[in-house]
Structure 1
């Protein structure tokens, strides 16, 4: 198997339809088919979806669907325990008495909870009120405002247009093409920039093909600086589209480069927040590009920038318009002076990773972890930030590093997701680790199948949910050495199969060249008659239907 197969999503989706030998499909046929769409089948899969909500000490809770309704589970990795987060039936009785409504413990009227710092209460919203349940006294009281969690350092975009600082005290946002901050405690607002104008404003979220009113920026770890840019799209054409939704049409307008236009360019800046000051980085404007995609914020934050822990330096990557050239640079946050450390040029297209940036700046040791496909596979390399030279290759072999998850500078270990390690299907993902020196490569998720990984904020544990297209997920908690801490859930699809649903069949085919392996899935009709012939739809990515169907795990 070569690089081409792994870097091109070559899934062949083969879908069979009803036999149409002169027959006409009825409304009932379409309704039957729709009943097996994921949004209709998912409610019949029990104990499958585990989404950890992390608490101090790497504890976490999650809500899981069951045949009876749902339940909340609390997990303590240190104690290796998994237990009900509270007595569901008792809370249902207490809440029924306090609210005047009738509730059942399996069907509680809320989907999220929060824990105050002492961990002895839970807080939730139900019947248009905030409630607090004291786990030690069994008292339910109304009126308590749930505690809000804080964003991780750097500040990712949430559901609002603001970006929260790491300490939670400030929220940055765009107003009249300039950047402002709001004090989250007092509500007072401060203007950070004054020279932003229409089509040449700060932190603009517009990649042409997608846009929003959210601010694109990265807070420094000390919450005193902001890395962002001023985007010049004054010579970019306007794009107009009319919505086709039910009701009155709405005209949408945004900047989109058309043939002959100049493209949007960004001037990189660092903004000091306490005493507002804009420091322009001493480099030419960059194209609105990132190593991940044409959007400079496709991962949910300002991509390709990385602060030093003391906020004195900002590492960033400049991507050429055609994605063939990458320049790794480090800026002095106080002066804006920029040092170009190294560059990489490719003949095709440089792509950093799959859903996240695969490089990391290590200012304490003056090193850089960098992703490259120079040996025909996607691997990690260790660079000397002083000389710009490669010190050594960290990962090596016939597999691809798709996502760099964690860098442990103390033990000099990288943790990453890799594809291509399983012979059954090269698209299955696994969590691995390796030393900075390239030694001690270890697969931490030994079970066959596709592994979805969620790391704990403290970095000591991870939730591992593994499955195959035809095998329901099993979810466990592991330590960073890969050892099992506790079992969490094993999905039950008995209610799903009772509806007549059938899992797809994984297949391995040979391409027209007679040697290239193609991995896919066959979906057959639920009422298939083996004595009949059926048409086959070859549904691939990328195809003219413009759909991405790269599914490696179970989709009930």
Structure 2
């Protein structure tokens, strides 16, 4: 395969330039398409373990790809037993008979299932095939067609499985599990001031997604805490679906930086059996999550007698840990943290970790950056620090659990192990008094760890960019009890695939070390010169650089979104670079872009690329491109406008090009509160807006946006377009009808991105109307 592809390229050199340009990319496009994540994964087996837990909170099952197709595996940690959950062949035969259509054992037509009787009956499963539901007996392997059940995602089950809470008609309701009769728990909810839910977005409406009440049940299942968000008076955004004869209008509340009215949240304590509720008497707080991407504000004491919650101000510059007694009385402030920039509850907001936990004695394990690094503290019931549990020039990423009986705290962290990649996560435990800190996952790799809810075990999938995943079941002391999966990539290697290469470089200051990953085409030839493409996301609190094996699906991966290996196959060197504003560092380093989002870490990218160019003569720094999505769309265009002599070509999708038009909780966190200069007619956000520098454009710029993007409104791109037109600049624009924010797996967007770089950076001619097959649904 490699030899034939190289032969085609060699022959192209002797053909006329026009013919060579027409032929070589066609071969490359086919090759690149093989490396799209959903295609490459077909050549990988055993790549991950994403556990789904049984009702006993200890056993779990997972779906895994094998050479025989997808299989479902059940694991019993107490015994270390790992076994198929069912016989694929017999289940496929039973489904074939019931559905009156062929079902193959290696391609069962479902990825998830539910045990029957709301999870109580493990001898029967409920699956959906197409639009029909079936119940299958696992003893005799007989399947029968079932009535289609309503979407159960809207029901939030209590810990004892006796109650289900749900939102309806702006209010909160509860019912006995499986019952039809419901009890209305609140009665004064209205539109724009509802319990447990906010206004439905256009995406929710178009995709018919359910409203899921944001409630936190007490351990005794008698009470719950529910937020009530006041959106009244918040100004609205508008979108139009224009693919029908009569366009459809959508509007929704959307607060911007500097708005006088933003969504405000109160918390209510609800007694479910009694059907009563009361507001927790603390000032309403802006809907500006301490965790940035979500997470409950509240947690319960183990005895269900106290509610703990975080309260932030607008920014947020300050967070308070509040505690309220169920018996009554106003909440009191237990602890607080503040920062000149902003406070966070996690240094990696993609993992959604809630890094604090109440203990039985009223003490709390608390996450804080008060010493300049993300660490854990053991607070007394009075809020005073009893023990700093972790300390040093490294960061805690997630609090996974506390075993109070054993006196151990379990967490993941980065940067502690000398000689290891600073972005790798490792699992640790430490005593409640801060002693005996122990590394539990010694393998030199990034560890994606899931705590088994019972607290005695962990599921650990570890890998590196150049090392396939291994998934193991660990005991609480780190011992490997069972190897669950070891990825086999032999079929992937047979396609010519090559892993990314980790590199080190110095940041703009010439001192601070930064890292990245380089992707080369599979037929890389060091005697040739390759154009370079930078795949960028600026942070903050999100890293664009792969740590885990590609194309692993272990967690959110910006690399997967960018399909970096596929792009490299077209004849590019593709880079991902961890700039100083990215996560995993001291607070003073990762917040250096605070108030200056227009920096985007681009000076660090330029510095790193220049250093690599000196080291590798096959990198052609006269041809450097850049691309990115969302924040990466913003920063890729920014790079073209601020460094027009360095970056020559950019593709920017769904960019938040002016954060004055983006969600206030993002801009006010990372750029600061909007400050207007009425005398000069400007503000502190203008220097970070791309349209301010539209006149600087020299290279080739391709802007892409979905016209139904309710996250980053298309006004971001259109306002930039307006500025570029006024500056008399040439650029390309693609508006995708009825497309929302998720464009990274859109086949047409991928193909047009390839076309743009091939024609404007590689100097080739893109094949006519190449069709990329979409990912499987």
TM value normalised by structure 2: 0.61
Could you tell which deviates more after superposition, 546-555 or 63-72? 546-555
- CA distance in structure 2 between the partners assigned to 1:245 and 1:526 by the alignment: 41
Superposition pairs for residues 135-146 of structure 1, below 5 Å? 139-143=140-144
Q: Over residues 3-45 of structure 1, what are the superposed CA-to-partner deviations in whole Å (9 max), with x where a residue is unaligned?
A: xxxxxxxxxxxxxxxx999956855544432331212211211
- CA distance in structure 2 between the partners assigned to 1:512 and 1:287 by the alignment: 36
Q: Is 2:165–2:175's contact at 8 Å kept on the other side of the alignment?
A: yes
Is 1:329–2:322 an aligned residue pair? yes
- CA distance in structure 1 between the partners assigned to 2:102 and 2:32 by the alignment: 37
SS, match of residue 58 in structure 1 = coil
SS, match of residue 154 in structure 2 = coil
- CA distance in structure 2 between the partners assigned to 1:71 and 1:191 by the alignment: 42
SS, match of residue 268 in structure 1 = strand
Q: Over residues 346-390 of structure 1, what are the superposed CA-to-partner deviations in whole Å (9 max), with x where a residue is unaligned?
A: 11211111321111112x3121111111222111011112x3211
Match of 2:236 among 223, 238, 262: 238
Could you tell which deviates more after superposition, 244-253 or 488-497? 244-253
* Number of the residue aligned with 2:272: 273
* Number of the residue aligned with 1:162: 155
Superposition pairs for residues 249-288 of structure 1, below 5 Å? 249-258=247-256, 259-288=258-287
SS, match of residue 34 in structure 1 = helix
Match of 2:137 among 132, 144, 147: 132
State the 1:164 CA deviation.
Answer: 2.5
Is 1:396–2:413 an aligned residue pair? no
State the 1:314 CA deviation.
Answer: 0.6
* Number of the residue aligned with 1:319: 312
- CA distance in structure 1 between the partners assigned to 2:165 and 2:403 by the alignment: 30
Q: Is 1:112–1:124's contact at 8 Å kept on the other side of the alignment?
A: no
Q: Is 2:216–2:224's contact at 8 Å kept on the other side of the alignment?
A: yes
Is 1:407–2:379 an aligned residue pair? no
Superposition pairs for residues 2-41 of structure 1, below 5 Å? 23=21, 26=25, 29-41=28-40
Q: Over residues 226-255 of structure 1, what are the superposed CA-to-partner deviations in whole Å (9 max), with x where a residue is unaligned?
A: 212322222210111234779975432111
Q: Is 2:136–2:143's contact at 8 Å kept on the other side of the alignment?
A: yes
Match of 1:175 among 168, 174, 180: 168
* Number of the residue aligned with 2:79: 79
* Number of the residue aligned with 1:339: 332
State the 1:180 CA deviation.
Answer: 2.1
- CA distance in structure 1 between the partners assigned to 2:375 and 2:326 by the alignment: 30
- CA distance in structure 2 between the partners assigned to 1:381 and 1:272 by the alignment: 32
- CA distance in structure 2 between the partners assigned to 1:217 and 1:120 by the alignment: 27
* Number of the residue aligned with 1:429: 425
Q: Over residues 75-97 of structure 1, what are the superposed CA-to-partner deviations in whole Å (9 max), with x where a residue is unaligned?
A: 33333333334454565567767
Q: Over residues 434-458 of structure 1, what are the superposed CA-to-partner deviations in whole Å (9 max), with x where a residue is unaligned?
A: 0011101001001010011122222
* Number of the residue aligned with 2:725: none
- CA distance in structure 2 between the partners assigned to 1:409 and 1:308 by the alignment: 13
Q: Is 2:44–2:488's contact at 8 Å kept on the other side of the alignment?
A: yes
Superposition pairs for residues 110-509 of structure 1, below 5 Å? 110-112=110-112, 121=123, 123=125, 125=127, 128=132, 129-134=134-139, 139-143=140-144, 160-205=153-198, 213-243=211-241, 249-258=247-256, 259-293=258-292, 298-299=294-295, 303-353=296-346, 354=348, 355-362=352-359, 364-385=360-381, 387-422=382-417, 423-509=419-505
Q: Over residues 408-459 of structure 1, what are the superposed CA-to-partner deviations in whole Å (9 max), with x where a residue is unaligned?
A: 1112210001111343311000110000111010010010100111222221
Higher RCO (CA < 8 A, seq sep 6+) = 1
Q: Is 2:216–2:225's contact at 8 Å kept on the other side of the alignment?
A: yes
- Cα 1:88–1:267 shift into 2, 3 Å: closer
Q: Which has the higher helix share?
A: 2
- Cα 1:365–1:346 shift into 2, 3 Å: same
- Cα 1:439–1:244 shift into 2, 3 Å: farther
Is 1:513–2:506 an aligned residue pair? no
State the 1:160 CA deviation.
Answer: 2.8
Tell me the matched-pair count. Answer: 515
Q: Is 1:170–1:182's contact at 8 Å kept on the other side of the alignment?
A: yes
Q: Which has the higher strand share?
A: 1
Q: Over residues 43-67 of structure 1, what are the superposed CA-to-partner deviations in whole Å (9 max), with x where a residue is unaligned?
A: 2111112222333473333332112
| Cα RMSD after superposing both structures | 3.3
- CA distance in structure 1 between the partners assigned to 2:108 and 2:228 by the alignment: 48
Q: Over residues 280-327 of structure 1, what are the superposed CA-to-partner deviations in whole Å (9 max), with x where a residue is unaligned?
A: 21222111123211x5xx13xxx2311123322111110111111011
Q: Is 1:113–1:122's contact at 8 Å kept on the other side of the alignment?
A: no
- Cα 1:57–1:194 shift into 2, 3 Å: closer
State the 1:111 CA deviation.
Answer: 4.0
Q: Is 1:132–1:144's contact at 8 Å kept on the other side of the alignment?
A: no
Q: Is 1:229–1:268's contact at 8 Å kept on the other side of the alignment?
A: yes
- Cα 1:126–1:321 shift into 2, 3 Å: closer
- Cα 1:487–1:547 shift into 2, 3 Å: closer
SS, match of residue 525 in structure 1 = coil
- CA distance in structure 2 between the partners assigned to 1:411 and 1:478 by the alignment: 17
